[in-house]
Amino acid sequence: MDRGLLSEQALGLIRRAIITGELPPGEAIKDIDLANRLGLSRTPVREALARLTDEGLIETKPHSYTRVTPLNAQAVRDALEVVQTMHALATRLAVPKLIAVHLDAMRAANLRFTAAVESGSVEDAMQYDDAFHDVLVQACGNHAVAATIYRYTPLLHRAERLQFGSPLGRDSASMHERIIAACEAGYGDLAAALAEENWASLSALMDKAE
């Protein structure tokens, strides 16, 4: 496996461990320990940690520590504002470009999302919620929008998993159906507003928790 693939593998494994709480907030990180744990060399682990630092899941103080970033409500709210706005923009841009295969993919993802919510599988629900929205992110064709969403979403996933145990609330499946209907009808502004409202449910969960 080449270096790039090893780095991606390390990134996915470490990110998942942080999001699920296997590596809890404030946990000290040593690249050599992680490398041994994952069965990888230190180089891809270091590259993964650098990317996770950019995502806000790892923080480093030179000559002092590298650790999992403690939970910070304001940081999550800041990320949510960005992600929420970018998803609305992605949806508005995507609607004129959607064809049947996109709508079918959104419906399939929402069916899996609904089943995961009903079975109580938070991790699967988050995966299929991502898959649903990713159809629109990919279809919009704007790399800057997509990159921004992918950069900040992991921070939100950790808050969802550790603080709420809820995939953006229990009403997301019906909201997804409304988004699909607006997309199918070609109503870009409506679909964008619904997408923004869908992500606002995480803010409501934060307000309730606080």
Q: Taking 70 as the threshold, does the pLDDT of residue 210 lie above it?
A: no
**Which residues of the chain does CATH 1.20.120.530 include?**
73-209
Task: Fill in the DSSP letter of residue 22.
Answer: S
Give me the mean pLDDT over the 105-121 stretch. 92
Does 95 have pLDDT greater than 80? yes
Give the amino acid at 64.
S
pLDDT category, 25, cuts 50, 70, 90?
very high
57 versus 118: which is more confidently predicted? 57
Distance in angstroms (rounded) separating the CA atoms of residues 34 and 14: 8
pTM, rounded to two decimals: 0.85
Looking at residue 142, what is its pLDDT? Answer: 98
Asked which of 21-30, 51-60, 126-135, 152-161 is least confident by mean pLDDT, the reply is 152-161
pLDDT at 2: 67
- 61-65, 75-79, 124-128, 176-180: the lowest-pLDDT one: 61-65
Specify the DSSP element, H or E, that contains 66: strand 65-68
Output the pLDDT for position 121: 85
Confidence of residue 24 (pLDDT cuts 50, 70, 90): very high
Across all residues in the chain, what is the average pLDDT?
A: 89
In this prediction, residue 59 has a pLDDT band, given cuts at 50, 70 and 90, of very high
The yes-or-no verdict on residue 158 having pLDDT over 90 is no
Tell me the C-alpha to C-alpha distance, in Å, between residue 98 and each of 105, 112, 135, 181. 11, 21, 9, 12
For residue 203, pLDDT beyond 90 = no
CATH superfamily of 73-209: GntR ligand-binding domain-like (1.20.120.530)
CA distance 104 to 169: 23
Q: Where in the chain is the domain with CATH 1.10.10.10?
A: 3-68
Q: Taking the domain 3-68, which CATH number applies?
A: 1.10.10.10
Where b means 16+ CB within 10 Å and e means fewer, 91-129 reads bbbbbeebeeebeebbbebbebbbebbeeeebebbbbbb
How far, in Å, are 51, 61, 106, 122, 165 from residue 19 at the CA level? 15, 21, 24, 11, 11
Give the chain's radius of gyration (CA, Å).
18
Q: Is the pLDDT of residue 83 over 90?
A: yes
Higher pLDDT, 56 or 171: 56
pLDDT of residue 20: 87
**Alpha carbon 72 to its chain's center:** 17
Residue 164 reports pLDDT greater than 60: no
206 against 161, higher pLDDT: 161
Inform me whether the pLDDT recorded for 199 exceeds 80.
Answer: yes
